Chain A
Amino acid sequence: MRFLGSALVSFLVLAGKVLTKSSSGDSVLVLLDPSLSRANYSIFFGGLEQQGYDLTFRAPKHASPAIAEYGVPNYSHVILFTPDTKSYAPDVTPQSLVGLLSENTNLLIALSPRQTPLTSLATEFSLILPPPGTPLLSHHPKRPEPANVIPVSVSESPILTPDTNPVWFSGVPHALGNSPYLVPILRAPSESFAADSTDDSGSGTILSASDKGGEGFWAGSHIGLVTGFQTTKNSRAVFAGGVELFSDEYAKKALPSGQRSGNAQFARDVAAWVFQETLTLRIDRTEHHRVNETAAPEMYTINDQIVYTAYISAYDRKTSSWKPYSGITDMQLEFTMLDPHVRIALPPVSGEPGKYEVQFRAPDRHGVFKLVVGWRRKGYSFLHTTTTVPVVPLRHDQYPRFLSAAWPYYAGAISTSVGFFLFSALWLAGDVKGEKKNLKGVKSE
């Protein structure tokens, strides 16, 4: 069934009708260790090329073609199938690879049980590797293959095609640190563990390690084999515990159950994610305005009814284009000044794909507010947008003119006016005698 599906896909690709490409670019640099035969990875690389990717191969020690020139990366994606390489050309260092990520270049990295510069790079991504030379071992299920070649069943993940067959894995596991940017893709089987020898002579050490309380004990399903990482700039990296995962050998190898292995599909899915083909979202634009208006005002007044709209697209790999996307149901909008004053759901508008809209009342507080949409889900591109809008108090002519609470003052003003009028009238119309008397009074001071 799966085979049929992938065969269909390759047929379509071969037919040249549909090219599925990445949203961030087609050029791929592959750093391939000389010890690895390119022919053994023909399914993976061939698949990428058929999709339209432009693959450039290079040995890790060769200086050209350069990854980056004048600080600008030359490739959109870099694959490092150099699990055992100890020394690289000077332009490949852990620092420069992190630099590539900050320039929105994606990385697909294969690790191995050997200690290499990539091991220390993995540490920066909050992956914790076991001591050198401790591959993942498992004795279950019973199979003719050695203990370090393990069929791993694939758990549900938005990254992977559903119902992918178990994959063959051989390599090093890693524990996951507490970075929120990690996206676990493939977990180790619960009965597997990392140890430095394939025979059972070291089992006593493992037992005592587990007795100590699990600390430093790489075992069980909480450790990862293939783990993605999405940076705050939405560039992606994948660390795979072994490069054989992507090989033709494993792709063709039958599982102990007799099924065909899911490696080819898995490798394809992982590459699709890391090359930003799938689960790639973006905010096209945001709009905000007062209710019943269309243009965004320079500033809002307190208690205004504000309408906020966001247009979100997802990348469609089939057509290589961005399509409106209404699938997010848990997005929120915050109206923030130091702290969120308003935090409400920003739901999709039914009937208008890609449009999310909400109306809310500005708080009774002036200041410089930010309209913040922050949506972070594992595997998906992070959506984040900030719009700064000042909220101002009422203008001098916007206050209510007449207050019922002020009646005492109105009454006072009116009565004083009337009194003054009456007094003036009496004073002016009064008899002259009284006036003279009064004048005298003043003079006598």
Chain B
Amino acid sequence: MPTAYPLPKDLSPAIVTNTASLLRIIALGLISGAAIASRLFAVVNFESIIHEFDPWFNYRATRVLASKGFYEFWNWFDPTAWYPLGRVVGGTIYPGLMATSGVIYNLLHALHLPVDIRNICVLLAPGFSALTAWATYMFTKELKDESAGLLAAAFIGIVPGYISRSVAGSYDNEAIAIFLLMFTFFCWIKALKQGSAFFGTIAAVFYFYMVAAWGGYVFITNMIPLHALVLLLMGRFSSRLYVAYSTWYAIGTLASMQVPFVGFQPVRTSEHMAALGEHSSSMYQLIFIHLTLTGVFGLLQIVAFAQLVRSHVSSKQFQELLVSAVISAGVMGFFAIVALTYKGWIAPWTGRFYSLWDTGYAKKYIPIIASVSEHQPTAWPSFFMDLHFLIFLFPAGVVMCFRALRDEHVFVIIYAVMASYFAGVMVRLMLTLTPVVCVASAVAMSSLLDTYLDPKEPDTDEQKGRSALVGTTSASIGTSATAAPVAAPKKTKKTKEKEAPVAPGGVLGDLVSGVASSAAAAVQASETASTSKSTKGIFGLDTRFAVIMNTIGLLLFFVLHCTWVTSSAYSSPSVVLASTSPDGSQHIIDDFREAYYWLRQNTAEDAVVMSWWDYGYQIAGMADRPTLVDNNTWNNTHIATVGKAMSSPEEVAYPILRKHDVSYVLVIFGGLIGYSGDDLNKFLWMVRIAQGVWPDEIQEPNYFNKGEYRVDDRASPTMRESLMYKMSYYRFADLFGAQQPMDRVRGQQVPAKGPTLDYLGEHSVGFRCRGNVSNSSSADEAFTSENWIVRIYEVKKDDILGRDLKIANAFSEGKKRKRSKPVSRRKAIRGW
């Protein structure tokens, strides 16, 4: 057998196998190491701290779980959240993440390793990313072979699209969910391949874990039935499918109903997602229909029954009859669902579901969903940013799946199509796209490498001694595209284009043939292809060398890109900010923690803090104070109340604040140092959300000046009177002395005479706060952080004389009041 380069001859197959397996283990170990290490930038650059917003709640919940035990956690009612409504935490969260950390915590303590719960929480996501890499390896191995698996594992280990959600400190549901997603899919594929009830059960168990961990479980809930349905429509019904799906469905659905938050939703909600779903962490409104889940199950039973009947009756006409019966049953079922929805027995689609189809829907009708930046449509550059060259390889991989088109490849194709669409609709759904991109790209790249590493020279008849690396699929790619009988033996060309197998014509042919033929036929075809004579292929070392070098270069750049993106873009805790000065030195901006610590140290333990809902979890976690609203947005009206208070004038807002027992109001203001994520930039969302509930009192156009959002002299009167504006710019001008004050975020010059506050600020009526001549003591902010990012105001108590606070302030500032006349009680009687 002529080979392009010499191969050692005296190796026994056992040595080859053992070495390969050892190498695989080492490779997987290294990949895990790389996956974990690359997620530690956040810890190295900053510190071991919980990031962002939602993780703070998860962390707080985990601490409760660790200190009080599982049953107390399950029944945990948090009176400090959503004051005064409170939050039934146990019934409104996915407890999987906390339970995982709790188990790890207890395990380590049982081993007398007193690890702090915070460190477990911080490092959970990197740890699970190693498991994700392994699960992806297993999944891809089922798809192609071990080498593709290793590539996929390496990709998923460091790809930014996944790292963005799993850096150390990003203690969110997604941290463990992607592992569960991939492992459930692996088990499903395994169950389907083997027709194994055992793997079906494992898939169901991990599905249950996923349901307990992440709202994105609907992705699995819809992917697997859809896969089964497509297989059914392709005429690939088999007892393997029947066993795998029935096992998974029955156990998985029953198990998922045990999660309190999910409850009976699997059988009630159409989109299988609660209207009061967790907003940012789990609002994974993926997808189509719950109909598929149950519907496919029912359909499978019918088809199985039909198959049984057919095996007994064996009439061709009967089969046609059956098909029409199945279709009509499906149509009838559809109408039944419509009728049930219409009757209100099944919850109709909610807004988030619509927003998946019409990206403008949310902005028009449900501002609270649209206000989350993660729910915006994805910008094109972020595909490259998150996936780098994988996004180019991804289609190639999908096409290769068409060529093999076994059941598992159908799965990957469906997954790819669905995830691509949804990733385009919502930024955060990039996360679900990432695994399939890694898998498909790994398949493509490994096929390429297989082809070009294969030492076999093409113009021989011998097919023995193929390298262990080369799998069946790669063989089919390396050789003639559409199986020997169809493709006439052409003259060998020097294929310089490395993507020859993916030429358009071939693809189309494959597609047609692939869809037409059954899975068994496809496998058979590839088998025949691998054994048939090949007259085209790769000749010599130069071609191989060029392509391999090219590929290695790509991979190198990929690693560089991932490292760069991870360290610069995705490792900021966002609780601590970093700015770089012109000389390159780093300056840490720690305003948030400074302010939360102030709250913790200087305010009463039951002092209610009002802020926009983004900061609710952080205040609860770091300042340990009750909040009006937080990141779990199940009550739109309550959020709108806060929005109304923020966007109303002081005298309107004050009764709202008093009614809710608010003691402090916290605003984020970036105008001084140019922190663009501040409340004034979110202000219009507050207005919109408030407008949704009080359209008569709050109107968005009032906050614009001729369609412009301004904060300077030309700001609209409503804008200037609003509490948010006043709190943001209160005494801002003082900072600039004689200069014109400049808002560095909006890039506008704010008025030199700042707003005054009457109902917020230091409690001024008290004797001790004032001298004899009271000057400017009427309203001081309670606290402003170093860089003015966080400003906290105290809500004044009622005046002791029962006066309006505005009048009381005017009095204590020594202003003369206008003489009042007595109230006219009666008309004088004329003519006495």
Are A393 and B826 CB-contacts (below 8 A) given A71-B768, A73-B767, A388-B606?
Answer: no
In the complex, the answer to whether A232 meets B239 with C-beta atoms within 8 Å is no
Given the complex, which residues of A lie within 8 Å of B91, measured CB to CB?
A: 393
Of B425-433, B570-578, B584-592, B815-823, the one contacting chain A is B815-823
Of chain A, the residue at the smallest CB distance from B260 is A396
A207-241: which residues lie under 8 A (CB-CB) from chain B?
210-218, 222-223, 229, 231-233, 235
A423 CB → nearest B CB, Å:
15
Of A19-27, A99-107, A276-284, A287-295, the one contacting chain B is A99-107
Are A93 and B767 CB-contacts (below 8 A) given A128-B822, A392-B77?
Answer: no
Given the complex, which residues of B lie within 8 Å of A218, measured CB to CB?
A: 822
Q: How far is the CA of A287 from the CA of B824 in the complex (A)?
A: 46
Q: How far is the CA of A392 from the CA of B74 in the complex (A)?
A: 13
In the complex, the answer to whether B767 meets A390 with C-beta atoms within 8 Å is no
In the complex, the answer to whether B772 meets A213 with C-beta atoms within 8 Å is no
In the complex, the answer to whether A99 meets B88 with C-beta atoms within 8 Å is no
Given the complex, which residues of B lie within 8 Å of A181, measured CB to CB?
A: 801-802
A359-374: which residues lie under 8 A (CB-CB) from chain B?
366-370
Of chain A, the residue at the smallest CB distance from B638 is A338
In the complex, the answer to whether B84 meets A445 with C-beta atoms within 8 Å is no
The tally of CB-CB contacts under 8 A between chains A and B is 142
In the complex, the answer to whether A124 meets B803 with C-beta atoms within 8 Å is yes
In the complex, the answer to whether B772 meets A299 with C-beta atoms within 8 Å is no
Given the complex, which residues of B lie within 8 Å of A94, measured CB to CB?
A: 811
Q: How far is the CA of A422 from the CA of B823 in the complex (A)?
A: 90
Of the residues A93, A212, A214, contact of B772 by C-beta under 8 Å: A93
Are A128 and B820 CB-contacts (below 8 A) given A68-B767, A95-B774, A338-B659?
Answer: yes
In the complex, the answer to whether A103 meets B767 with C-beta atoms within 8 Å is yes
Contact digits for A63-78, partner B, Cβ 8 Å, 1 yes 0 no: 0000010011100000
A117 CB → nearest B CB, Å:
11
In the complex, the answer to whether A393 meets B77 with C-beta atoms within 8 Å is yes
Q: How far is the CA of A367 from the CA of B660 in the complex (A)?
A: 13
Given the complex, which residues of A lie within 8 Å of B239, measured CB to CB?
A: 442, 445
Q: How far is the CA of A99 from the CA of B799 in the complex (A)?
A: 11
Given the complex, which residues of B lie within 8 Å of A369, measured CB to CB?
A: 84
In the complex, the answer to whether B85 meets A178 with C-beta atoms within 8 Å is no
Most chain A CB neighbours (cut-off 10 Å) among B84, B766, B769? B84
B774-818: which residues lie under 8 A (CB-CB) from chain A?
774, 798-803, 811-812, 814, 816-817
In the complex, the answer to whether A91 meets B772 with C-beta atoms within 8 Å is yes
Contact digits for A298-342, partner B, Cβ 8 Å, 1 yes 0 no: 010000000000000000000000000000000000000110000
Most chain B CB neighbours (cut-off 10 Å) among A91, A102, A368? A368
B304 CB → nearest A CB, Å:
10
Q: How far is the CA of A231 from the CA of B802 in the complex (A)?
A: 8
Q: How far is the CA of A400 from the CA of B766 in the complex (A)?
A: 54
In the complex, the answer to whether B802 meets A393 with C-beta atoms within 8 Å is no
A403 CB → nearest B CB, Å:
14
Given the complex, which residues of A lie within 8 Å of B816, measured CB to CB?
A: 120
Contact digits for A138-175, partner B, Cβ 8 Å, 1 yes 0 no: 00000000000000000000000000000000000001
Given the complex, which residues of A lie within 8 Å of B772, measured CB to CB?
A: 90-91, 93, 95-96
Of chain B, the residue at the smallest CB distance from A90 is B772
Given the complex, which residues of B lie within 8 Å of A91, measured CB to CB?
A: 772
Of the residues B86, B626, B800, B802, contact of A102 by C-beta under 8 Å: B800
Any A CB within 8 A of the CB of B540: no
Of chain B, the residue at the smallest CB distance from A368 is B84
In the complex, the answer to whether B660 meets A338 with C-beta atoms within 8 Å is yes
Of the residues B74, B79, B798, B830, contact of A232 by C-beta under 8 Å: B798
Q: How many chain B residues touch the partner (CB < 8 A)?
A: 52
Q: How many chain A residues touch the partner (CB < 8 A)?
A: 63
A99 CB → nearest B CB, Å:
3
B785 CB → nearest A CB, Å:
28
Are A125 and B767 CB-contacts (below 8 A) given A177-B820, A213-B828?
Answer: no
Of the residues B77, B84, B799, B812, contact of A338 by C-beta under 8 Å: B84
A269 CB → nearest B CB, Å:
24
B275 CB → nearest A CB, Å:
19
In the complex, the answer to whether B238 meets A445 with C-beta atoms within 8 Å is yes
Any A CB within 8 A of the CB of B490: no
Q: How far is the CA of A218 from the CA of B823 in the complex (A)?
A: 11
In the complex, the answer to whether A368 meets B86 with C-beta atoms within 8 Å is yes
Any A CB within 8 A of the CB of B308: yes
A336 CB → nearest B CB, Å:
9
In the complex, the answer to whether B824 meets A215 with C-beta atoms within 8 Å is yes
Q: How far is the CA of A408 from the CA of B825 in the complex (A)?
A: 71
Of the residues A95, A211, A299, contact of B770 by C-beta under 8 Å: A95
A342 CB → nearest B CB, Å:
15
Are A217 and B828 CB-contacts (below 8 A) given A91-B772, A124-B801, A390-B77?
Answer: yes
Q: How far is the CA of A77 from the CA of B113 in the complex (A)?
A: 65
Q: How far is the CA of A296 from the CA of B171 in the complex (A)?
A: 37
Q: How far is the CA of A98 from the CA of B768 in the complex (A)?
A: 12
Contact digits for A378-420, partner B, Cβ 8 Å, 1 yes 0 no: 0000000000101011011000000000000000000000000
In the complex, the answer to whether B75 meets A396 with C-beta atoms within 8 Å is yes
Any B CB within 8 A of the CB of A444: yes
Q: How far is the CA of A333 from the CA of B757 in the complex (A)?
A: 35
In the complex, the answer to whether A396 meets B74 with C-beta atoms within 8 Å is yes
Any A CB within 8 A of the CB of B217: no
A75-131: which residues lie under 8 A (CB-CB) from chain B?
90-91, 93-96, 98-103, 120, 123-126, 128
In the complex, the answer to whether B88 meets A393 with C-beta atoms within 8 Å is yes
A34-74: which residues lie under 8 A (CB-CB) from chain B?
68, 71-73
In the complex, the answer to whether B86 meets A390 with C-beta atoms within 8 Å is yes
Any B CB within 8 A of the CB of A441: yes
B54-88: which residues lie under 8 A (CB-CB) from chain A?
71, 74-75, 77, 79, 83-86, 88
Any B CB within 8 A of the CB of A179: yes
In the complex, the answer to whether A367 meets B86 with C-beta atoms within 8 Å is yes
Of the residues B84, B770, B817, B828, contact of A367 by C-beta under 8 Å: B84
B83 CB → nearest A CB, Å:
6
Return 6 A-B CB contacts under 8 Å, by A number: A71-B769, A181-B802, A218-B822, A368-B83, A368-B86, A396-B71
* Other contacts beyond A71-B769, A98-B800, A181-B801: 7, CB < 8 A: A96-B767, A103-B767, A123-B820, A223-B822, A232-B802, A368-B79, A396-B74
The 10 closest A-B pairs by CB, nearest first: A175-B822, A99-B767, A71-B768, A390-B79, A210-B828, A392-B77, A368-B84, A231-B800, A395-B75, A128-B822
